[in-house]
């Protein structure tokens, strides 16, 4: 659920769209050779109040940016940060109250005959259903 909201938010972002087209996925299987984003849920917990009523939820999302060029990966990260790290926003029946990037790990990996540069971005998201 939260990954679909994040994916919808990123797919609607005009700056990121210029860089990646629509190659923003949540599944592990991909056949992209260049410029794509993968979204994974690391942890997603619901919080309940004393009357057992569902309250705010907390999720940790990992977003991996891939490209053959380091500059493009950096531009992808900047566009994702600008899209997600705002005061609050609503999308797909969720109200995102806080979205903060916790870490950034730049690496590279061999993909076939070429090397893809990667930045792994971890976000902590507080949200509730609307």
CA distance 68 to 86: 29
Claim: this prediction has a pTM higher than 0.85 = no
pLDDT per residue as tens digits for the range 50-80: 666 667 889 999 999 988 888 999 999 999 9
pLDDT of residue 103: 82
Using a 10 angstrom Cβ sphere, with 0-12 exposed, 13-18 middle and 19 or more buried, the burial of residue 102 is: exposed
pLDDT of residue 34: 75
pLDDT of residue 75: 93
Residue stretches of the chain with pLDDT short of 50 = none
Which neighbouring-strand residues pair with 127?
57, 96
* Number of domains forming the structure of the chain: 1
Residue 51 belongs to what domain range? 2-129
Q: CATH number for the domain including 43?
A: 3.30.2000.30
Q: How remote is the C-alpha of 110 from its chain's centroid? A: 22
pLDDT of residue 23: 81
Helix (H/G/I), strand (E/B), else coil: 76: helix
pLDDT of residue 97: 86
DSSP 8-class letter at 74: H
Q: Answer for the pair 102, 62: CB distance below 8 angstroms, yes or no.
A: no
Which neighbouring-strand residues pair with 107?
118
Tell me phi and psi for residue 91, to 5 degrees: -160, 145
């Amino acid at each position: 659920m939260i990954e679909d909201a994040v994916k919808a938010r990123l797919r609607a972002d005009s700056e990121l769209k210029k860089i990646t087209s629509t190659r923003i996925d949540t599944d592990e299987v991909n056949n992209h050779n260049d410029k794509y984003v993968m979204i994974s849920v690391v942890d997603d917990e619901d919080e309940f109040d004393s009357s057992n009523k569902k309250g705010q939820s907390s999720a940790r999302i990992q977003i991996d940016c891939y490209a053959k060029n380091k500059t493009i990966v950096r531009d992808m990260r900047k566009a994702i940060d600008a899209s997600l790290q705002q005061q609050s926003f609503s999308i797909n029946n969720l109200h995102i109250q806080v979205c903060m990037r916790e870490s950034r790990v730049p690496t590279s990996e061999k993909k076939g005959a070429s090397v893809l540069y990667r930045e792994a971005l971890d976000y902590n998201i507080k949200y509730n259903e609307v």
